[in-house]
A and B are shown apart, each in its own frame.
Chain A
Amino acid sequence: MSNNMKYLTGPFSANNPVIVQILGICSALAVTVQLKPAIVMALSVTVVTAFSNLVMSLLRNGVPARIRIIVQLVVIAALVILVDQVLKAYVYEISKQLSVYVGLIITNCIVMGRVEAFALGNKPWASFLDGIGNGLGYGLILVIVAFFRELFGSGSLLGFRIIPESWYMTEGGFYSNCGLMLFPPMALIIVGCIIWVHRSRNKDLQEK
């Protein structure tokens, strides 16, 4: 039981896929301009990671090592197509915002990385939990980045206004949004700062 808990909660901080394993940055950061698409993306990745881990763990003894990459890609691509169709059916607006990034979950290194590193050598239930843990660990970073970018970039959270209208310069106030937050480079700088804070609190992760 304690082992299973470790698989589930380890990726939240000590073994976080984004800031410790440096995986899955590719398709992640561009969806963090606002909080809502970031949450949808995090859930999609969690579902795909969990189920691809489960399926590959069930298949792990039947797949020859030479062709395993292709088999993994087919399993992952099939899951991503399912997720994409569901998103298109139920949250069409957000699916439009996410555009190509849903398709890029296929090549998201977290999914492949966890299948390669964990699911091929472990039992299905443990792999499933590991997938959920890593998906949520990834989502955590996405939500933190999106929180700062939406709050400072457009003054709202999840579309609700946080900074009062009357503060803005156009209304005679003193405040103005930081437009730079909406540009892609800021996402990288915020992740850099998250890594900085995280590693200064966890000294064992620092590089010598």
Chain B
Amino acid sequence: MESLNIFIRSIFIDNMVFAFFFGMCSYIAVSKSVKTALGLGAAVTFVMVMTVPLNYLLYEYILRPGALHAWIPAVPESVDLNFLSFIVFIATIAAFVQLVEMIVEKFSPTLYSQLGIFLPLIAVNCAIMGGSLFMQQKVDAGELDTLWQSIVYGLGSGLGWWLAIVMMAAIREKTTYSHIPAALKGPGIAFIITGLMGIAFMIFSGIQF
């Protein structure tokens, strides 16, 4: 039940885009057609499902205050590597994205050429770094305490971002036929649409199982 709650929460209530504005740069830039939005959303969800649990393991067993002491008794209990978490998380993410890029390039050149421009973008997508940082915060608060839950959280956050960018792309495809004031065309109207969608998403707050 706890996992289901985390899953629903991370998709609808704590939606990466509408509640926290994570990944806005690629969200605005790549939401011009549904097809590319689907591709980028899938890639982000995949990277998120992999990196959040990886970072969870690193945080739980190495970075947390007193974590090293728990399995290497020789290390004093006062050792606190928490300040390293930013650099460790971003290194994991960048290395993982590089790995995915190399694997895709080797085994599926067609997919590689389709995703080409998106893959490097993913390493600096704030949604992914944000997922890991929120995971860290949730572990500290005791809301997330197993590897399985971190996988569920990564999956939910990724799917939430995917949902948001595909919805946005669908709306933007329609707005090309509308009469929008010249100064609002492009990013201006995109921001206002996102704001209105965010207000609509506020309806989900408080859902629990």
Contact = CB atoms under 8 A, between A and B. Distances in A.
Interface of A: 19, 22-30, 69-70, 73-74, 77-78, 80-81, 84-85, 99-100, 103-104, 106-109, 112, 180, 183-189, 191-193, 195-197, 199-200, 206-207
B81 to A, nearest CB: 12
Main secondary structure of the interface of B (DSSP, over half): helix
Given A30-B21, A188-B21, A188-B192, A85 B83 contact: yes
The 9 closest A-B pairs by CB, nearest first: A185-B198, A192-B191, A26-B126, A188-B195, A189-B195, A192-B192, A199-B183, A200-B183, A25-B24
B51 interface: no
Interface in B18-66: 18-25, 28-29
8 contacts: A26-B21, A26-B23, A30-B21, A70-B91, A99-B137, A107-B128, A193-B192, A196-B183
Contacts of B85: 103
Given A26-B24, A185-B196, A189-B192, A103 B124 contact: no
Residue of A107, A183, A199 with highest tally of chain B CB at under 10 A: A107
A104 B126 contact: yes
Nearest to A200: B183
Contacts of A22: 25, 28-29, 187
Nearest to B97: A69
Contacts of A180: 199
A142 B125 CA distance: 20
Given A74-B87, A104-B126, A107-B90, A189 B18 contact: no
A77 B93 CA distance: 13
A26 B22 contact: yes
A189 B130 contact: no
Nearest to B85: A103
A159 to B, nearest CB: 24
Contacts of B199: 180, 183, 185
Given A69-B123, A187-B21, A192-B192, A107 B129 contact: yes
Nearest to B133: A100
Given A183-B202, A199-B184, A107 B192 contact: no
A19 B189 CA distance: 12
A106 B125 CA distance: 10
Contacts of A100: 130, 133-134, 136-137
A73 B94 contact: yes
Contacts of B202: 183, 185
Contacts of B24: 25-26, 29
A115 B20 CA distance: 25
A185 B191 contact: no
A25 B123 CA distance: 16
B83 A78 contact: no
Nearest to A111: B124
Contacts of A99: 137
Contact of B94 (A70, A85, A109): A70
Contact of A206 (B20, B91, B185): B185
A108 B130 CA distance: 11
Interface in B113-129: 120, 123-129
Nearest to B25: A109
A106 B120 CA distance: 15
B148 interface: no
B20 A25 contact: no
Nearest to B16: A26
A26 B124 CA distance: 11
B91 A73 contact: yes
B191 A189 contact: yes
A15 to B, nearest CB: 14
Nearest to A24: B25
Contacts of A29: 21, 24
